[in-house]
Structure 1
Amino acid sequence: MKDLMGRAIWDFYHNENPEDLQTETSISELDELPVEYLFRDFEEMNKIEQKALKLAKGKVLDIGAGAGSHSLYLQNEKNLDVTALDISPKAIEVCKLRGIKNAVAENMLSFPGENYDTILLLMNGTGIFQSLNVIDIYLKKLHSLLNKNGQILIDSTDILYMYDEDEDGGYFIPAEGYYGELDYVVHYKGESENPIKWLYLDFNTLQNAAENNGFKTEMVLQDEDSYLAKLTKR
């Protein structure tokens, strides 16, 4: 893994000629992602992120922490015990440099962890599940990391709107697989990562998968096609 996202975060933090990231998916064209967006504060976050951070309590695991903006808010403003977890070593180094006390570079599936009162998966948190074929593996791992009365706060977007619509209001979607399963590619400074699998889930599909793995699912907030869900143990 070239860790281009981590390199961009590192370059921005150290002011080493950072450039915007570029991202694309199997159904969308190249899009600019300003690296400074990953360093935004609470006031610059969207409604879903703000709601999730307000609901976070107890001992927190922030999965896919990136530059650590969510973790920093919870640690510094809410005085919570937070662990920032990300697969990118460079991103985790920046988390530490920004003052996050507990920051770990590890794949979620191999993270030994403890048990947490709140687990956060934000900025399309369902993306980490990759595809419906392996979602059970991730949900079982999350179940094992969650305290009995804990909560998972996770967001996603129903991307059906991105597909072409016919005259009758139906959508032209792939016959094979689930329409939210995409290939996702990151570009930075002329280099490209290999495509990774990235999963966008509509709420009903998330709810069904979660309930098959011992969770109750609640819609906390909806903002157009995006939503925040809360998973708790049954």
Structure 2
Amino acid sequence: MADVFGMALKDYQNGLYTEDIKTYSSLDEEDVIPVPYLFRTFDEMPKIEQKALQLARGKVLDIGAGAGSHALYLQNKGLDVTALDNSEDAIAVCKKRGMESTVLSNILDYSEEKYDTLLLLMNGVGLAGKLKNLSEFLQHLASLLQSNGQVLLDSSDIVYMFEQDDDGGYWIPDDGAYYGEVTFEMEYKGHKSKPFDWIYLDINTLRNACESNGFNCELVISGEHYDYLAKLTLKK
């Protein structure tokens, strides 16, 4: 299947930008990812991302680096940072933009080194896919951390996307699945990705998962729209 995300990044990098990435989700929502946004500067980033980059320290792994905007900012600040992505075109774009250290891999297949900071921005924890995979995902992150390391991740509580009743409660389908689990497809210039699972975590669900997988979970800041930045550290 086409790597539509990588294709869009490569086109933009090569001056061939004519359209954005369309996304279709199981929430019956059609949306767009503006490609220029993936090349944003620090000043154009939301406060949550800026805060995460300010907290990053030591040896950093930027997981799901995309066009490398976060990793490049840290590299320019003098940090030892590696951009990891499972898209060949995304990694090619990172290199072209000046990233010195890159890894082409799915995060779950990568175990080469240990880091002081793992970055999972733009809802990077979504890579876990489903709630049932979250423990395995967190345990893998733990295996990549130095003992005093940190995971900086942002996510959103998508409860606001469901119908609200008069007393302020939400109508969430009771089909046994966690409401933050979404299936996406992407489309770019007529090419479609295969469907993939993605998860948005509310802070309490994240805290519970951290608790049972050896992590402390600290809420760093909340954003303007049900989103937040969390810092995970290993329990001593």
> Which TM-score applies when normalising by structure 2?
0.96
Residue 28 (structure 1) shift: 4.2
Equivalent residues in 2 for 1:1-234 (5 A)? 1-76=1-76, 78-175=77-174, 176-224=176-224, 225-234=226-235
Counterpart CA distance in 1 for 2:16 and 2:229 is 35
| Secondary structure of residue in 2 paired with 1:134 | helix
Counterpart contact for 1:60–1:118, Cα < 8 Å: yes
CA RMSD in angstroms comes to: 1.0
Aligned structure 1 segments of 4 or more residues deviating by more than 6 angstroms:
none
Distance in 1 between residues matched to 2:56 and 2:24, nearest whole Å: 31
CA-to-aligned-CA distance 1:170-218 (integer Å, 9 cap, x gap) = 2111212100000111110112112110000000100110121110000
User: How many angstroms apart in 1 are the aligned matches of 2:189 and 2:27?
Assistant: 23
Question: Do the aligned residues in 2 keep the contact of 1:139 with 1:210 (CA within 8 Å)?
Answer: yes
Contact 1:8–1:18, Cα closer than 8 Å, also in 2 = no
Cα displacement (A) at 1:18 = 3.9
The code of the aligned residue for 2:233 comes to T
Normalising by structure 1, we get a TM-score of 0.97
Gaps of 5+ in 1: none
CA distance, structure 2, for counterparts of residue 194 and residue 220 of structure 1: 34
- Partners of 2:19 and 2:119 in 1: CA distance: 28
Letter in 2 for 1:198: W
Q: Distance in 2 between matches of 1:53 and 1:184?
A: 27
Counting matched residue pairs gives 233
**TM-aligned CA deviation for residue 17 of structure 1:** 4.5
Whether the aligned pair in 2 keeps the contact of 1:9 and 1:35 (CA below 8 Å) is: yes
* AA partner of residue 140 (structure 1): Q
Question: 1:128 is matched by which residue type in structure 2?
Answer: L
